[in-house]
Structure 1
Amino acid sequence: MLIGVLLAVTWLILVIRYPHKALPVSLAALCGLLLLAAVVVWQQEQQSRRLSRVEIRLQHDLVQCPGARPLRVEVHNGNSRALRELRWKLYVHSPGQSANLIQGRPAELDYDGPGNLLADARWQECLPLPALRPGYRPQSLEYRAIDLRGRFTR
């Protein structure tokens, strides 16, 4: 923080003492920063668009999954690029309600998806359920993946 203040004060002094030399350099630096910000925003938009094409279906399934891992996860990569890494948080709620029913700190529970999922490919896995609040039956709840984070091939 101190370095930033020193740089700002130095820049201000240079603009006041040597405006004909400092202003063009300052405008060039500002254009460079704006260009960098535009590239970062564009890349984040591309990433968000790609993640929106990743479909994750979650359901409690004791038929296809063993009892210790009853949460069936199906991931479909609807992108033209391979998915290198996928992480999400689990959101569990009762139909018609919005409260997350995971007991403890649900923000700390991250789930990992497939390590490498090709374009337009599917992945399925059975995962363990986190501890739920007492009084709810896991088979009657709805499961959603929120806060998707992922990396794609270039």
Structure 2
Amino acid sequence: MLFGAILVLSWLVLLIRYPSKALPISLAALIGLGLVTSYVLWQESREKRHLAHLELRLNYAPDTCPANRPLALHLNNTSDAVLMTLQWQVAAYRPGDSTNLAERLYETPRYSGPGDLQPGAEWQTCLPLPPLRSGYRASTLEFRAEHLQGSFSE
């Protein structure tokens, strides 16, 4: 914080003392910063657009999945780009309720998707349940993927 304040103060002194030399350099730096900012915002909007085209469904399915991984996942890549990486958190809700019943602990399973999922391709697997608050059974809850983070290649 102190270093930033010293840097800004030095820039202001140079701008006031030598405006003919400092102003063009400041404008060039401002344009460069603007270009970098616009590129980062464009990348973020592109990732969000591609993530919005993913169909990810979670169902409690102890009859079709192993006992230690009873959560069935179905992922469909409906975007026009290859899904390279995908991470998410699993949330559990009672039907019609908005309180997340999955506990966020250090030993909570980390969920990640397949690598290189082509456009239009599907992926299915079974996942472990997240730790639930006491008194709730997984069979009575709805599971949702939240906080999706992913990367795509064109």
Q: Is the 8 A contact 2:108 2:130 kept in 1?
A: no
Q: Which moved more, 1:73-82 or 1:20-29?
A: 20-29
Q: CA 1:95–1:51 in structure 2 vs 1: closer, same or farther (change >3 Å)?
A: same
State the shift of 1:45 in Å: 0.3
Question: 1:63 and 2:63 equivalent?
Answer: yes
Q: Which moved more, 1:12-21 or 1:140-149?
A: 12-21
Overall identity of the aligned pairs, in %: 45
Higher mean C-alpha deviation, range 47-56 or range 131-140 = 131-140
Looking at structure 2, the residues matched to 21 and 141 of structure 1 have their Cα atoms a distance apart, in angstroms, of 66
**TM-score (normalised: structure 2):** 0.91
Q: 1:51 to 1:15 in 2, by over 3 A?
A: same
Matched with 1:54 is 54
| CA pair 103-25 structure 1, distance change in 2 beyond 3 A | closer
Q: Where does 1:2-151 land on structure 2 (aligned, <5 Å)?
A: 2-103=2-103, 105=105, 109-151=109-151
Measure how far apart 1:66 and its partner are.
Answer: 1.8
Greater Cα shift, 19-28 or 32-41:
19-28
Q: Which amino acid aligns with 1:61?
A: A
Q: Which moved more, 1:96-105 or 1:47-56?
A: 96-105
Matching residue's letter, 1:56: L
- Structure 1 gap ranges (5+): none
Following the alignment from structure 2 to structure 1, what is the Cα–Cα distance between the partners of residues 145 and 10?
Answer: 49
In the alignment, the residues of structure 1 paired with residue 75 and residue 111 of structure 2 have an alpha-carbon distance, to the nearest angstrom, of: 12
Task: Mark the CA change 1:141 to 1:53 in structure 2 (over 3 Å): closer, same or farther.
Answer: same
Contact 2:55/2:75 (<8 A) preserved: yes
**Secondary structure, counterpart of 1:10 in structure 2:** helix
Please state how far the C-alpha of 1:104 moved relative to its aligned partner. 5.0
Cα shift readout 1:15-62 (whole Å, capped 9, x = no counterpart)? 111112211221121111111111110110001001111111000012
Q: Distance in 1 between matches of 2:127 and 2:93?
A: 18
- Give the Cα separation in 1 of the matches to 2:21 and 2:132: 65
Unaligned runs of 5+ in 2: none
TM-superposed deviation, 1:106: 8.2
CA RMSD across the alignment:
1.8
* Range moving further from structure 2, 100-109 or 114-123: 100-109
TM-score of the superposition, structure 1-length normalised?
Answer: 0.91
Bigger mean CA deviation after superposition, 140-149 or 2-11: 2-11
